[in-house]
Structure 1
Amino acid sequence: MAQFQRLLVVLILTAVLLVVAEAAGDPDTSGCRGLTHGRYSRVFAFGNSLTDTGNAAIYPPTAGGTFTRLPYGQTYFGRPSGRASDGRIITDFLVEELKVPQPTPYLAGSTAADFVNGSNLAIGGSTALEPAFLEARGVTSLVLVSLSNETRWFQNVL
């Protein structure tokens, strides 16, 4: 089990660090393109609660969970933010450093316009491996979302 946990952490950190940011192309002479100030125009984030900025607060099995109530979000946001943290998470810092707008949580969007700034496809409790694979080994999860679901959501956004 420890080996599985290490693999999961490595996969999640890799996904976070790669963040799948889309290059904005050649910037104009001011170094800006649209609303961005750098090389990137949007971010697509994958992962679990380490990168989720609101999907778990919407996903029916976890909606209304503890992270949707105070003290989660109290210190930095002043209100519950849907993050499994009192403050910001790695996605928030990456978006700030890349100088791009915060991506819309996938489950909060409904039109193409909602995803112009990218999308956060991460959902707290998701796994790298398929739920069926885990269930066959006696592991059950409240969140039946895996990395393959997140990549399908990404295809829907595109």
Structure 2
Amino acid sequence: MSKVQESIDVDVPLHTAYNQWTQFEEFPRFMEGVKEVRQLDDRHNHWRTSIAGVDREFDTEIVDQLPDERVAWRTVGGDVKQMGVVTFQPLDEGHTRVRLAMNVEPEGMVEKAADMLGMLDRRVRGDLRRFKGFVESRGEETGAWRGRVSPG
């Protein structure tokens, strides 16, 4: 299993960064290779991705979500195996640090080779940069979900 950790500082208040991240169906607007995310309920999302010519569909479950602090998830079922957490730290009233940590199990030779070449790290860094551009250019979130999802 590979571990990826990246962070970025965004020039928006904490609640704006957090609120935008909870809008999972907007992810294709800034995540490379993500074709669609459908939110099924408060805990579950269905993903369609196309990365390096490999199309996948899988479901994720939110396992811990605390407003303005973190969103943690894991995949459920299927052949995609990953888990992760994104955390939000206020730097001051108008700036927030977004940290993303993921554990990913590459499948097949293409994904394993890409992982060995650092492509996953670069993709996550790029996704965070695009998130920064997306949320800063808008200056406000496209929506918000402020509910609490407790572990277990």
What TM-score results when the alignment is normalised by the length of structure 2?
0.28
Highest CA radius of gyration, 1 or 2?
1
Of Structure 1 and Structure 2, the greater helix share is in: 1
The structure whose RCO (Cα within 8 Å, separation 6+) is larger is 2
